[in-house]
Structure formats: structure tokens, C-alpha cells
Structure 1
Amino acid sequence: MSIGTKVKRFREAKGISQDDLALRLDVAQSTISSIESDKNIPNSLLLSNIAKELDINMNDLFDDERTINNVYDNNDKVAIGFGNNNTFTVGGLSEKLVELYEERVKELKEQVQELKEEIKILKNK
């Protein structure tokens, strides 16, 4: 997933419009739009400021895993881990985040089942 896509997902999860984020960062709305559509790659300072405004760790924008960490909703910390983060704190989540979480849990359960079946086959050889 691209940095622009992640910025958009985190921004939307926080309920912030492109205009609001642009105002907070003192940039044009078109700058946010071009970042989110991957037409523009922000410099490290702007990326750092975006992460601060979205209350996320800058590394979350670079992680290749399907990870949404440290998302804040209504000033309550909501941590959702898909991938490396095994701690889940759910409260005040948007429907979309809950849906993404449930989808990922289902995928992981299917992977676990497939691995169990492979182990069973290997043990019988």
C-alpha cells in the first residue's frame, strides 16, 4: 500500500477532511490531494508533520504490512494491529475500521487452518 493511500486511510479514520489537514499543516488542499493520489511524494518534514497531525507513528506510513496503529477517534486512543502488533484496544471505532479488522482476523484464521492441515499432512508422511 502506498504512502498516499495510508495517509488517506489514517486521515479518514480520524474523521479529518483534506481541507482541515491542509490548514493544520499550513499547506494547500491540493498538496494533500496530490499526496493521497500518489502524484506527489512529501519530504520527510511534511511526512513527520502529517504523522503528528494524524496521531500516528511515521513508521506506520512505511510499513508494508496491513497495519493501522495508533489511530485516534474522538480523542480516545484506538490501537488496531494487523500484522506485527498483537495488542488490540477497540473503542469508538468507525464501521470501516471494524470491518477491516474483522476481515483481517478472518484471513488469519484461514491461514492458521491451512497451516494446521499442512502440518497434519507432513506428520503422516
Structure 2
Amino acid sequence: MNIGGKIKRLRLSRGLTQEELAMRTDLSRSFISQLESNKTSLAVDTLEKILRALGTDLKAFFSEEEEAKIVFKKEDRIPVYDEPEGITSYLLMSDVETKKVDPTLVTLAPGAQTEEEGYHEGDEFGYVLQGRVDLWLDGVRYRLAQGDCFYYRADKKHFLKNPSKKKDAVVLWIEID
């Protein structure tokens, strides 16, 4: 484990300079610098003092959390099975419960529409990748074509419909907490 590098990342994430951390811990700035570049070692009680100043503790510091997944390949997509007829949806990322966004790729067959969602917290964004869709918000229709996008607070009843009788529509739909 790169202790110095991890301390540096914590310090920077808290918006502190080396000097500010040194002042909070009653250590010298040069000691903090040497520690962050792994040029010196430290005692456990000194590490505890630094971690307290950074708002954490030994247990959290040494827990081996799994690195957050950054790239989600096409084969990682998760199908949504309870969609209405003519709708195919895939969650584009796993573990969406811990994220503030929930991106979904939605394909609407000709004439198909998503289920109407009631009022809920958050915002929604969509980008029409292919075809045309009608976005319905509290009974008001908005027409969108390929390349158009939408954004709204989710405090309205809403659904999408493909008005075409011949072509699928594809929308990247993102719910934002």
C-alpha cells in the first residue's frame, strides 16, 4: 500500500495544502511532504493524528475498498425485463444504487410507449439516438427527433412514445437523483 500517496489524495480531496495539514497536526510541512512522497516512515500515533485531521480513521484508511468501475462494456448491460410490449431497455451501468445517475438505453418499437411514471424525486435527461419520440409531461406532448434531447424535473407524470409506424426509436434516458 502506498501510504504517502493515499494521504496525499485524502489531503487534496479535503482541499488542504501541506502547510494547512501540518498546522492541524502540529507537524512540519517538510515532514508532510516527505511522508506523501514516501521518503519517511511514521509511527502509528502520528498516522492516527494525520487521519483525524483529514476526517477519517485507521480502519477506514486501511480498508481495501474495491476500485470503482470506470468502463462499462456493451456486454455488461443489464436487461430490464418488466417493460411493456415493444420496449427493450438496458441499464448501462451496474451498481446504480450507489450512483446519482441511472442511465438506460431504451428502444421503442413502432407505436410502443413506456409505462407512465408518476411523480418522483430527481431529474431526467434523454437524448434521441435514433428515430422520433413524443415526450409526454402531465398531458403535454413534446416532439423530438434524432439528435434532440430533453431535461425535466421528475415532478410530472411522464412517458415516451414512438409515433412512427415503421421505425424503431432509441433513446439514452438518464435518471438523476
TM-score, normalising length: structure 1: 0.52
1:113 to 2:54 alignment = no
1:14 to 2:14 alignment = yes
If you compute each CA radius of gyration, which structure gives the higher value, 1 or 2? 2
CA distance in 2, matches of 1:30, 1:61: 22
Q: How far did residue 56 of structure 1 move?
A: 1.3
CA distance in 1, matches of 2:70, 2:37: 29
- Amino acid in structure 1 at the alignment position of 2:76: Q
- Amino acid in structure 2 at the alignment position of 1:33: S
Q: How far did residue 27 of structure 1 move?
A: 1.1
Give the secondary-structure state (helix, strand or coil) at the position aligned to 1:21: helix
CA distance in 1, matches of 2:54, 2:64: 19
- Amino acid in structure 2 at the alignment position of 1:106: I
Q: Map 1:7-86 onto structure 2 (within 5 A).
A: 7-65=7-65, 83=66
Cα offsets for 1:86-106 (capped at 9, x unmatched): xxxxxxxxxxxxxxxxxx343
Cα offsets for 1:12-67 (capped at 9, x unmatched): 000111001111111111110011000112110011011100001223332344xx
CA distance in 2, matches of 1:60, 1:30: 26
- Amino acid in structure 2 at the alignment position of 1:40: T
Runs of 4+ in 1 over 6 A off after TM superposition: none
Give the % identical residues: 32
In structure 2, the residue matched to 1:93 is none
More helix by share: 1
Calculate the aligned-residue CA RMSD, in Å: 2.4
Give the secondary-structure state (helix, strand or coil) at the position aligned to 2:70: helix
CA distance in 2, matches of 1:5, 1:63: 15
More strand by share: 2
- Identify unmatched segments of 5+ residues in structure 1: 66-82, 85-103, 115-125
CA distance in 2, matches of 1:57, 1:27: 18
In structure 2, the residue matched to 1:97 is none
